[in-house]
């Protein structure tokens, strides 16, 4: 099979991971990588002498490419993705897909009109531990889902033009939409800019999903501990997904609370707590990004719609926009999302 000819724009922190995965995949050939910085281009040449480099991404349009992968700062996603689609190229663009929903809608429209794959880098949708969480919810092993709580905290990396909501929350929102298979009804958010004026470095987001499922996301660049954790609490069992753990990422707690049947005694007011086993399932952990890149190539080859499609990217942007509106009113305002 003729390999898919791939170009990349942006070779900073995340771009090299994408380029490596496409270089290593036999279904693709990385033809050219663009970055504005000379030192980053030198880095590519050191690692992959067969790959052409350029400072001007427009050179990619003369390389008879099939697809482009965009890993530049989010402020440039829309313009770059739009130009690539207009040149007839399939696009994998990093998260968040764009910085407003009209732009995401426009990209979806162009990709549909031209029959091109538009995919967003919601890496966690390709993560085996997240798949395990989803299976536990879908199989009803956890019972009725009460709430989901996510924390993504660290000291740094502070961004100059975007707050922590736009930087980190796309991961947790995409995880929640994926594992619950539902879209939220309402969103509210609180946050503060402690370090840089006007750019919130700590944000708390609350969401309500159908069936009264509560969701909470805490994102922060200003925390002493690195935390990457999602907790799902159901009526039968509870699960903690700790992404910092190298092997035992998922723990299923057979814990719960039950109300005894009605009686007239003092015992009425006592709840019965269940402390059962803790199960750590064996998960075959492959690199999620390898799965994501493979999926992008499969979608191009088989003309299928990706799991993390432009539409999935749009949903995440709509939720962040609603949270941002609430944030600007001190979290008092509950935003109802119009889907």
Ligand X SMILES: NC(=O)c1ccc[n+]([C@@H]2O[C@H](COP(=O)([O-])OP(=O)(O)OC[C@H]3O[C@@H](n4cnc5c(N)ncnc54)[C@H](O)[C@@H]3O)[C@@H](O)[C@H]2O)c1
CB atoms inside a 10 Å sphere around CB 108: 18
Q: Per CB under 6 A, does 35 bind ligand X? A: yes
71 binds ligand X (CB under 6 A): yes
CA 264 to the chain's CA centroid: 51
Pairing of strands 250-258, 272-279: antiparallel
* Spatial separation of the C-alpha atoms in residues 112 and 121, rounded to whole Å: 19
Least distance from C-beta 291 to ligand X, angstroms?
12
Residue from the set 101, 123, 132, 163 that interacts with ligand X by CB under 6 A: 123
| Options 8, 19, 34, 293; binder of ligand X; rule CB under 6 A | 34
The position carrying tokens 């998922």 is 250
Side-chain-side CA neighbours of 88 within 13 Å: the count stands at 7
Q: Of the listed pieces 4-12, 61-69, 269-277, 304-312, which binds ligand X according to CB under 6 A?
A: 4-12
With binding defined as CB under 6 A, does residue 13 bind ligand X? yes
| Binding-site member from 6, 8, 22, 40 for ligand X (CB under 6 A) | 40
CA dist 69 and 35 (Å) reads 12
Measured from the CB of residue 93, what is the shortest distance to ligand X in angstroms?
8
Return the number of other C-beta atoms located less than 10 Å from residue 33's C-beta: 30
Among 121, 184, 191, 234, binds ligand X (CB under 6 A): 121
What is the three-class DSSP state of 213? strand
Is the backbone peptide bond immediately before 204 cis, with ω within 30 degrees of 0? no
Helices 15-24 and 288-302 meet at what angle, rounded to 10? 60
Q: Between residues 84 and 213, which has the closer beta carbon with respect to ligand X?
A: 84
Pairing of strands 186-192, 145-155: unpaired
Task: Out of 43, 48, 52, 76, name the contact with ligand X by CB under 6 A.
Answer: 76
Range in contact with ligand X (rule: CB under 6 A) among 8-16, 186-194, 308-316, 327-335 = 8-16
d(CA 86, CA 99): 19
Closest separation in Å from C-beta 222 to ligand X: 18
The size of the interface with ligand X (CB under 6 A), counted in residues, is 22
Residue 95 interacts with ligand X (CB under 6 A): yes or no = yes
C-beta separation of 297 from 27 below 8 A: yes
Across 249-319, the runs of DSSP E, i.e. the strands, are 250-258, 272-279
Return the ∠ at Cα 36 (arms to 92 and 20), rounded to 5°: 45
Which residue, judged by CB position, is nearest to ligand X in the bound state?
12
Minimum distance from CB of 329 to ligand X (Å)? Answer: 26
- Nearer Cβ to ligand X (34/110): 34
Q: Which residues contact 46 (CB under 8 A, 6 or more apart)?
A: none
Q: Token pair 């990706």 is at which residue?
A: 306
Of 4, 90, 94, 98, the one binding ligand X (CB under 6 A) is 94
Check binding of 274 to ligand X (CB under 6 A): no
Identify which of residues 16 and 191 has a Cβ nearer to ligand X in the complex: 16
Binding piece for ligand X, criterion CB under 6 A, among 31-39, 102-110, 141-149, 190-198:
31-39
Which of 14, 61, 147, 158 is the binder for ligand X (CB under 6 A)?
14
In terms of CB distance, is 72 or 188 closer to ligand X?
A: 72
Binding residues for ligand X (CB under 6 A): 9-15, 34-37, 40, 57, 71-74, 76, 94-95, 121, 123
């Amino acid at each position: 099979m003729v390999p898919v000819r791939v170009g990349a724009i942006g070779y900073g922190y995340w771009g090299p991971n994408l380029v490596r995965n496409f270089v290593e995949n036999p279904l693709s050939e990385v033809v050219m990588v663009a970055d504005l910085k000379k030192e980053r281009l030198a880095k590519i040449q050191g690692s992959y002498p067969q790959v052409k480099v350029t400072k001007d991404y427009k050179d990619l349009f003369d390389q008879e490419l099939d697809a482009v992968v965009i890993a530049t700062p989010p402020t440039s996603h829309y313009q770059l993705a739009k130009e690539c689609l207009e040149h007839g190229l399939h696009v994998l663009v990093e998260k968040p897909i764009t910085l407003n929903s009209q732009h995401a809608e426009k990209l979806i429209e162009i990709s549909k009109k031209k029959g091109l794959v538009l995919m967003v880098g919601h890496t966690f949708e390709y993560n085996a531990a997240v798949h395990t969480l989803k299976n536990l919810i879908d199989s009803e092993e956890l019972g009725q889902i009460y709430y989901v709580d996510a924390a993504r905290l660290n000291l740094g990396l502070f961004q100059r033009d975007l707050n922590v909501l736009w930087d980190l929350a796309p991961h947790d929102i995409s995880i929640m939409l994926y594992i619950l298979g539902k879209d939220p009804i309402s969103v509210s958010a609180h946050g503060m800019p402690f370090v840089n004026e006007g750019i919130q470095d700590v944000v708390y987001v609350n969401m309500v999903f159908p069936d009264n499922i509560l969701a909470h996301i805490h994102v922060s660049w200003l925390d002493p501990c690195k935390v990457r954790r999602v907790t799902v609490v159901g009526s039968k069992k509870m699960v903690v997904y700790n992404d910092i753990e190298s092997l035992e990422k998922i723990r299923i707690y057979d814990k719960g609370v039950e109300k005894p049947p009605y009686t007239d005694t003092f015992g009425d007011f006592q709840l019965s707590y269940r402390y059962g086993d803790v199960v750590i399932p064996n998960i075959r952990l492959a690199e999620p990004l390898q799965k994501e890149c493979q999926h992008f190539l499969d979608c191009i080859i088989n003309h299928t719609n990706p799991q993390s499609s432009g539409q999935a990217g749009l949903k995440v942007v709509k939720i962040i926009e609603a949270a941002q509106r609430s944030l600007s009113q001190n979290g008092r305002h509950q935003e109802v999302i119009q889907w």
